[in-house]
Structure 1
Amino acid sequence: MTEDILQAPTAATSTDGPATSRVTAEARRRRTFAVISHPDAGKSTLTEALVLHANVITEAGAIHGKAGRRATVSDWMEMEKARGISITSTALQFPYRAPSGQDCVINLLDTPGHADFSEDTYRVLTAVDCAVMLIDAAKGLEPQTLKLFEVCRLRRIPIITVINKWDRPGRDPLELIDEIQSRIGLRPTPLTWPVGIAGDFKGVLDRRTGNFIRFTRTAGGAKAAPEEHITPDRAHAAAGDDWDNAVEESELLSADGSDYDQDTFLGCETTPLLFTSAALNFGVNQLLDVLVQLAPAPHGQLDTEGHRRPAESPFSAFVFKVQAGMDSAHRDRIAYARVCSGTFERGEVLTHATTGKPFVTKYAQSVFGQQRSTLDTAWPGDVIGLANANVLRPGDTLYRDVPVQYPPIPSFSPEHFAVARGTDPSKHKQFRKGIEQLEQEGVVQVLRSDRRGDQAPVFAAVGPMQFEVASHRMAAEMSAPISLESLPYTVARAASPEDVDFLSRQPSVEVFTRTDGVILVLFSTKWRLEGFQRDNPNVVLQSLVAAGDD
């Protein structure tokens, strides 16, 4: 990926025109979206396939079959390679020229599917204009998919639905469509329809053109699958009864009012739907083209007062993720920021809205998975990496000239708690620095109390796998191995400072202060919490944001 390709103006973006015209034109070229799904639906494989079909890489990293298996470009952490799952979100920026000749810049955010990492996925969804919801053809809608959809619904994020793994045995396509509409309330409007039942994927009927797009397998799915576009009058000869069945079902969809409509898609009432096999690279080109043609371009962001700051306004961005440990040779941290408005120029001095202090953007980078390159200019919709940005936290706002503050990103209500202790007394400084880094990144929430002291902070997490990540990173990156001792608490509530002394004296209750200053009270069970509230109605305890809520 070369920087000049990403930043080259099209005919509509002449630098001779007003600056606002250039910003508008560049914003229209951007497509910024996240891929969301339940674990093992093929999300990282689809991400890899999209990059492959955009001609950014020449061979997909996920070579299927145990021999010679490699990691995808979006799964770069050692734990991700070992477990075969996404543990952290990843930003991939690359250029794409659609068959229509339209030049675009894709900002693709791959998210962890596992429920234990819901906070990371939530942060990513604050930074996108659209989401691709991936569904396993055999399993249909699964719990984590439903939770992520609910976040998209509440944030009014348009959704493109992809039925994946059609090369394997699965359910009837009409049954899957009925399930989507009945369970999440979005009417699917298929743009492609499978030719061949699940497990016998011959190609798709393109409902926009009427053509049969026939796919040809490649060895291990490592290369882009060749496509043959066959006109409707020749399609029966090419696919026989499978084509006839696809046409009949497509006509039923039209009669049922399930044809695509742009206004209802952008209004989050319908979801365009496609069928793919990401592992075989079938149907991926069609998804790329749909993203370019139909997905919304950046159009500004709502500030804390509910006013939309137009994309043409002076520069502003908000930080949605902080990540360290991407390069073992450099102990730096990368703050991922979504450009909301204006033009970013490397080296300029911005204002950090939280502190009001200046922030110099000397080390700005374009991010492609683990790979990074110097970035000089960015536009609305782009994701920029700010290196060595120690003062930045997820939810922070940066701006130039005209002040703005974007809504903070809430922390989820933790349900798992463990005391962290260093196992090597000589690594005291590394232990303290590592704990500070993990809490700044949001890998886990860190709680402290006078009772336990600084040498025994408590990790709080949505899911237990967060503890594994924290423990692994403390040992591998900070050279400060830790032991974790589980605590018998399952419920957390926020409390007022004036109630701390009283709460600290209660049995089966413990009081902590979170890094952001919030006082958390931990209860052993929800029944213990209910009993306490019943006996002490004057003590006000506030619920925290639950995973899947907004």
Structure 2
Amino acid sequence: MTVAAHTPTSKNSEAVGEAARRRTFAVISHPDAGKSTLTEALALHAAAITSAGAVHGKGDRKGVTSDWMEMEQARGISITSAALRIDYDGHVLNLLDTPGHADFSEDTYRVLAAVDAAIMLLDSAKGLEPQTLKLFDVARNQGIPVITFVNKWDRPGREPLELLDEIEQRIGLRPTPLNWPVGIAGDFRGLVDRNGGGYVKLHRTPGGATKAREERLTDEQAARLEGPAWEQAVEELELMTEIGADYDPESFLAGKSSPVMFGAALPNFGVAQLLRTLVDIAPAPTPRADNQGRPRPVEAPFSGLVFKMQANMDKAHRDRMAFVRICSGRFDRGMVLTHAATGKPFATKYTQAVFGSERHTIDTAFAGDVIALVNAQSLRVGDTLYDGPKVEFPPIPSFAPEHFAVARAIDVSRYKQFRRGIDQLDSEGVVQVLVSDVRGDQAPVLAAVGPLQFDVVKHRMEHEFNAPIELAHLDYGTARRTDPDSAPALHGLSGAEVLTRRSDNELLVLVHNKWRLKVIQRDHPDLTLDVLLAGGVEEEG
């Protein structure tokens, strides 16, 4: 290596060039919209895997690569986010699959803090659903540009113009189709490329396990082959042109419009087009603002944000991994970073890239990449790691919990394992763990967004920590932040209980329901009852 390669100018140039090759994005959707299937199909078309699997698997096909947890494979739903690193056409794609079920929204919200773009996945028959709307609100709040993929066009569904109108009317995004389906939903023939022109005729493969075969035809050939279906598609496209529904890069990056694509993830229809579009229009990493609002250039020394903790991905080693989104600079395995929260050094000898449950050692990485730091016992979600001058990024907000239960060890002789498991799940953000002087450490209160989170806790406590628990559900439905001056008065009120949130030592008051909360606020206007933030969006009510 030449001397010039060691100069700051050369390093900066390398960091900028490598960051420009990165695309880091998440897939967000309502449950059952086909999110994990799309994730698998994207990996298939990028040649990262050779055969796509369904969630439960068929024949000798394995389960979905991103759904690696035992509970996910058993229930057929994603309950934790997964990171997939894919090399494609000279670019590095960091695809973060997210849970679709509303009960695991908080995990999705953390992932959105680590990406530069999102694919909003819609079911062609259902359109925008409640969970999709919530996730879009968070993406908008964080300034994340959104590409819309209308899935399941191979099944009966709604009219494409109706779906576009719903997007514009309900979320205020101007839809700008990049392709258009030939054939109504349920009779999917192929796709018209609005920008490049021409028609792509799609042919199924058995079970959708391999890439769908694409046949490119001229407009004249398409007209002869498809007849009235082609004519209808042409008329609808002419309408799109007349109303000015054309892709505009500035509007897309500003979050004012959303490029729209049609397809069907299960048979791999339209997935190749989506993959190419991600490379062409999704933004590369840009400067990220620190907690003082100052942008951190991608060529600055290394900095990274911990957005996810996960324990026991490798059952043989019982490890604990911190998933870090690199925000700036170059990462070299073995470098000693600084943990912003404590000022202490953090060694990175064991660093890996992750593909679902599979992982391998990674030696270098750049802005936009997601790395997994092994045995990261001291790290928590929202922490910053850096090299050189100190930098700290804003913390990731916790979601406002709505369900609460007291956890107790079934076997008191395994209290040490019980305590270790509860602390681990708290640090991962699987649930929020609350404690009080009245209940004590032996009976922590678990706070969750949805009840399925409690099922995950019970399963993991039994199978990973060998400490089965019993849960006693509490009759509380909302939480507010309070202060030491208000806590004694609130604790003495009927229908309220004050606890301490372990991770940040904040005082929370739990209240039976929003009606009771309004009565307390009316009768005691001097007491502090602050609204919690839900992933950066203020909790309703």
TM-score, structure 2 length as denominator? 0.96
CA deviation map 1:361-391 (0-9, x unaligned)? 1111111111111111000000000000011
Q: Deviation at 1:65?
A: 8.2
Q: Is 1:219 aligned to 2:211, yes or no?
A: no
Letter in 1 for 2:534: A
Q: Which of 440, 452, 458 does residue 465 from structure 1 map onto? A: 452
Letter in 2 for 1:56: A
Q: Which of 292, 297, 308 does residue 310 from structure 1 map onto? A: 297
Q: Is 1:289 aligned to 2:240, yes or no?
A: no
Distance 1:344 1:49 in 2: 30
Match of 2:37 in 1: 45
Q: Is 1:415 aligned to 2:407, yes or no?
A: no
Match of 2:186 in 1: 199
Q: Deviation at 1:261?
A: 1.1
Q: Is the 8 A contact 2:397 2:536 kept in 1?
A: no
Q: Which of 531, 541, 546 does residue 519 from structure 2 map onto? A: 531
Distance 2:251 2:127 in 1: 23
Match of 1:341 in 2: 328
Q: Is the 8 A contact 2:203 2:214 kept in 1?
A: yes
Match of 2:383 in 1: 396
Match of 1:23 in 2: 15
Residue range with higher mean Cα deviation, 38-47 or 111-120: 111-120
Q: Which of 98, 101, 122 does residue 135 from structure 1 map onto? A: 122
Q: Which of 82, 105, 109 does residue 96 from structure 2 map onto? A: 109
Determine helix, strand or coil for the equivalent of 1:498.
Answer: coil
Q: Is the 8 A contact 1:63 1:69 kept in 2?
A: no
Q: Is the 8 A contact 1:63 1:222 kept in 2?
A: no
Match of 1:476 in 2: 463
Q: Which of 334, 350, 357 does residue 337 from structure 2 map onto? A: 350
Match of 1:100 in 2: none
Match of 2:133 in 1: 146
Q: Deviation at 1:497?
A: 1.1
Determine helix, strand or coil for the equivalent of 1:116.
Answer: helix
Q: Deviation at 1:548?
A: 7.2
CA deviation map 1:310-363 (0-9, x unaligned)? 101111001000001211111111100000000001111111111111111111
Q: Which of 76, 83, 87 does residue 91 from structure 1 map onto? A: 83
Distance 1:166 1:202 in 2: 10
Determine helix, strand or coil for the equivalent of 2:106.
Answer: helix
Q: Is 1:331 aligned to 2:323, yes or no?
A: no
Letter in 1 for 2:154: D
Letter in 2 for 1:157: I
Distance 1:47 1:536 in 2: 50
Gaps of 5+ in 2: none
Distance 2:516 2:232 in 1: 58
Letter in 2 for 1:311: V
Q: Which of 65, 74, 80 does residue 72 from structure 2 map onto? A: 80
Determine helix, strand or coil for the equivalent of 1:475.
Answer: helix
Determine helix, strand or coil for the equivalent of 1:408.
Answer: coil
Match of 1:241 in 2: 228
Letter in 2 for 1:525: N
Q: Deviation at 1:254?
A: 0.5
Q: Is the 8 A contact 2:56 2:73 kept in 1?
A: no
Letter in 1 for 2:130: P
Distance 1:533 1:262 in 2: 47
Residue range with higher mean Cα deviation, 16-25 or 50-59: 16-25
Q: Is 1:543 aligned to 2:534, yes or no?
A: no
Distance 2:520 2:252 in 1: 47
Distance 2:179 2:321 in 1: 39
Match of 1:265 in 2: 252
Q: Which of 154, 160, 180 does residue 147 from structure 2 map onto? A: 160
Q: Is 1:521 aligned to 2:509, yes or no?
A: yes
Distance 2:220 2:9 in 1: 48
CA deviation map 1:135-168 (0-9, x unaligned)? 0000000000000111111111100000000000
Distance 1:383 1:75 in 2: 18
Q: Is the 8 A contact 1:169 1:198 kept in 2?
A: yes
Letter in 1 for 2:278: L
Distance 1:365 1:189 in 2: 38
1:446-465 equivalences under 5 Å are 446-465=433-452
Distance 1:41 1:498 in 2: 47
Gaps of 5+ in 1: 1-12, 98-102
Distance 2:7 2:127 in 1: 48
CA deviation map 1:94-144 (0-9, x unaligned)? 1001xxxxx100000000011111110000000000000000000000000
TM-score, structure 1 length as denominator? 0.95
Distance verdict in 2 for CA 1:112–1:15, change over 3 Å = farther
Q: CA RMSD in A?
A: 1.6
Distance 1:232 1:14 in 2: 54
Determine helix, strand or coil for the equivalent of 1:450.
Answer: coil
Determine helix, strand or coil for the equivalent of 1:497.
Answer: coil
Distance 1:15 1:45 in 2: 45
Determine helix, strand or coil for the equivalent of 1:312.
Answer: coil
Q: Deviation at 1:403?
A: 1.1
Distance 2:83 2:120 in 1: 17
